[in-house]
Amino acid sequence: MRTDSAQISVESQQKLVAARLMATFLGATLVANAYLGPALFGISVDTAGLSALCGAILLGAPVIFGSVKSLVYGRLHMQELVALAVIACFALEDYKTAGIVAFIMLCADLVQSRTALGARAAIEGLIRLTPTRARKISGSGGVVEVDALSLSAGDIIEILAGDNISADGIIEKGTATINEASITGESIPVEKRQGDPVFAGTINLDGRIEVQVTRAGEDTTLGKVKKLIMSAEQTKVPIMRIIDSYVTWYTPVILMVAGIILYFTRDMNRAVTALVVTCPAALILAAPTAVVAALSCCARLGILVKNVRNLEIASNLNALIFDKTGTLTTGELSVTKLNPVESTPDSAERLLAVAGAVAEHSTHPVSRAVAQMAKKAQVSVSKTEDIQEQAGLGVKGIVDGKEVILGKKEWLAANSVAVIECRTQSQTDGLSIIYVAYDKKFIGWIGLEDNPRKEAKSATEQLYDIGIKKIIMLTGDRESVAKKVADNLGCREYKAQCLPQEKLDMVNDLKNKGYIVGVVGDGINDAPALAAGDIGIAMGAAGSDIAIHSASISLMNNDLLRLPFIVKISRKTRSVIYQNLAFGLIFIIAGLIAAGLGYLNPVMAAVLHNLGAFAVIFNSARIVRFGEELT
């Protein structure tokens, strides 16, 4: 009865469901005619019987053919039991019952198919928002409407107020208010100006902008998100794999029980009823419906789950390791102090100039902050050659024929430069310090500050409240900076001056102690640690291919309150699955007993069976609106 949805588009499946629905109701009309025809229209008993036979064939054929197809391919599903019940009714020449049972089961199957399609279509609706056309600005300045898929990196497109943005890119001209809810899950629009990134599928609420395309089509952030969500739907939590492993035993056991009922009661009706009522729809739907609802909820809030197994792992998390910069803090470092060794009038300017010359060639947040300050101060920055960067330590290069070294004390020491104290240590407390050497001589340090995210303390408190036993902040900064940030956030454990390898060692140490460890970072500098944890959670993954692919779960925005939500929804999903399974088992056992005692007939069994399936679907559907307070 079911088609392989992985190979067919949602629209095609919807058309197929509509065609099957029409055939189902035609068969139902013929069966209804067999019941009502003699009384209302005076048709003969033979004619009524023929109408029932035709209706039963029309309704029963899809059930029987679907079961035969499953058996041919070595798969057992719930419809085999229904098919046997329908065949038994045909053998007893009870065509009306055969038609009614098949009709009810087909209707249930169609509703379940339509519900599943609706859930999948809802997910696609969140991520399939890229317009098919784009306004491309030609070399002469004119605007030409083109197919969005024909865009390539470097093209300039025009986005007017009210337009959906057709590709990822950088704003070249203009300002606008962009609704990025489809990517980040944030309902509050964001002000964008020249130099800011924009993403395909987001909406320009006001203003005209010109955007230089960086990625188009399936290469956009939205395209990658769509692929990963659709692939996540095909994955299974362990409980689903357990059900699959036992399904091959279920049908033979039920057949044996139905045979026992027939042997002791000599009543074929009871045996047929047992086959119908024990179709395990509730059991089969228990996990998939909950998982699809959870994925839909997460997608709505800008949470990208790569594999549904990660949801189950998240429910058991008891330790979280955070990177500081860009995760617990905004990552928007600003230079607040220049401390040159010399006290000449131009020493501070010279310190910033040589540091900025090297810093502009690094993508590290500290280097970016130094480069931005040099640009803002309009100091003269010389051309830099032979750039070398050491992760977690610093960067160096040749400026005007002299070597400039920018980074930690250890980086300068490794390059044979001694750091001398040029100011009292109290002046550096709470600041991130970067040291500068020029021509093998230490010339001063630069102090930077980074502010904690406003929701970080609340998120930390919530994580402790829901049972996370260890929350550890790791940072490459000095002890005073780490302590200040940890105290502000209520983080009980931290480790300062932490190198990338030490982050990995910390993750592995906690795992060896039996903790289920989640690692939270920006997905770029923290990729190795993210991969080492039981779950890696990348913050602010929108526009970052590395973040989307390196983490188990990617947050398309930087809202730390999504972290306790991930744990909560994973536990909620697990709870709903167990509720569904318990209900399904109790329903089947109770129905089997009632069938054996003769309290049910096949028609009543079919109705009750589907009521059980719908109860499971509706119970799972509650997850879709979970976490509405975050929108």
Contacts of 527 (CB under 8 A, 6+ apart): 521, 546, 550
- Which residue type is seen at 201? G
> Which residues in 381-523 belong to E strands, given as ranges?
384-390, 394-399, 402-407, 432-438, 441-449, 470-474, 493-495, 517-521
323 is catalytic: yes
Q: Is 618 exposed, middle or buried (0-12, 13-18, 19+ CB in 10 A)?
A: exposed
Q: How far apart are CA 30 and CA 36, in angstroms?
A: 10
Q: How many CB atoms lie within 10 A of CB 197?
A: 14
Q: How far apart are CA 424 and CA 428, in angstroms?
A: 8
Angle between helices 365-376 and 347-359 (to 10 degrees): 130
DSSP single-letter state for residue 163:
P
Angle between helices 268-277 and 602-621 (to 10 degrees): 10
3-state SS class at 464: helix
Sequence-ordered alpha helix ranges (H) in 533-561: 545-550
- Token pair of 556, please? 């398309």
Cα–Cα distances in angstroms (integers) from residue 581 to residues 79, 242, 431, 552, 576, in the given order: 19, 12, 55, 27, 9
Q: How far apart are CA 512 and CA 499, in angstroms?
A: 20
Element (H, E) at 214: strand 209-215
Residue 358 · residue 384 · CB < 8 Å: yes
17 Ramachandran zone, left/alpha/beta (phi>0; psi -120 to 50)? alpha
- Which residue type is seen at 539? M
Q: Is 10 exposed, middle or buried (0-12, 13-18, 19+ CB in 10 A)?
A: middle
Contacts of 326 (CB under 8 A, 6+ apart): 365, 521, 522, 539, 540
- Token pair of 79, please? 């419809």
- Token pair of 96, please? 């009306």
Q: How far apart are CA 283 and CA 372, in angstroms?
A: 59
Q: In what order do the strands lie in the sheet with 197-198?
A: 143-147, 133-137, 156-159, 209-215, 168-173, 197-198
Which residue of the set 168, 323, 522, 559 is catalytic?
323
Q: How far apart are CA 370 and CA 444, in angstroms?
A: 14
Q: In what order do the strands lie in the sheet with 517-521?
A: 303-305, 553-555, 535-538, 517-521, 319-323, 470-474, 493-495
Q: Give the gyration radius of the chain's Cα atoms.
A: 32
β-sheet bridge partners, residue 137:
143
Q: How many CB atoms lie within 10 A of CB 246?
A: 11
Residue 544 · residue 526 · CB < 8 Å: no
Could you list the active site residues? 323
